[in-house]
Amino acid sequence: MANPSYTLQQSISFAQTFIQYHPLAVGTGNEPALSLANEIQNMIVNPPFCWGWNRGENSTYLTTAQTQDVTCAVTDFSFLEKVSLTGANGVVYQILDVYNNAALAKADTTAVKCNRPNAACVTSITYGTSFKLRFMPVPDAAYTINLVYQKLVTPLSTLTGATGTWAIPDQYLDIYNNLFVGEAMANVDDSRANQYRQRGVAALIAKSEGLSEMQINAFLAQYWARTSQGQYKTLRTQQGAQAGAI
Render pLDDT for 123-145 as a digit per residue (tens, 0 to 9). 999 999 999 999 999 999 999 99
Contact in structure between 44 and 204 (CB atoms under 8 Å):
yes
Distance in angstroms (rounded) separating the CA atoms of residues 191 and 195:
8
**Tens-place pLDDT, residues 55-64:** 999 999 999 9
Write the single-letter amino acid at 186: A
Contact in structure between 68 and 134 (CB atoms under 8 Å):
yes
| Choice between 127 and 28, residue whose per-residue pLDDT is larger | 127
Q: Which of helix, strand or coil describes residue 149?
A: strand
Query: Per-residue pLDDT for 185 more than 90?
Result: yes
pLDDT score, position 227: 65
Mean pLDDT (the chain) is: 92
Number of helices followed by number of strands (H, E) in the chain: 6, 10
With b meaning 16 or more CB within 10 Å and e meaning fewer, what string describes 125-145?
Answer: beeeeebebbbbbbbbeebbb
Distance in angstroms (rounded) separating the CA atoms of residues 122 and 67:
15
| Choice between 155 and 27, residue whose per-residue pLDDT is larger | 155
Burial class (CB in 10 A: 0-12, 13-18, 19+), 159: buried
Burial class (CB in 10 A: 0-12, 13-18, 19+), 25: middle
Query: Per-residue pLDDT for 237 more than 90?
Result: no
CA within 13 Å, CB half, 81:
20
Residue 180 host element (H or E): helix 173-187
- Can you say how many angstroms the Cα of residue 53 is from the centroid of all Cα atoms in its chain? 12
Closest alpha carbon to 186 in 44, 42, 46, 40: 40
Contact in structure between 177 and 44 (CB atoms under 8 Å):
no
Query: Per-residue pLDDT for 245 more than 70?
Result: no
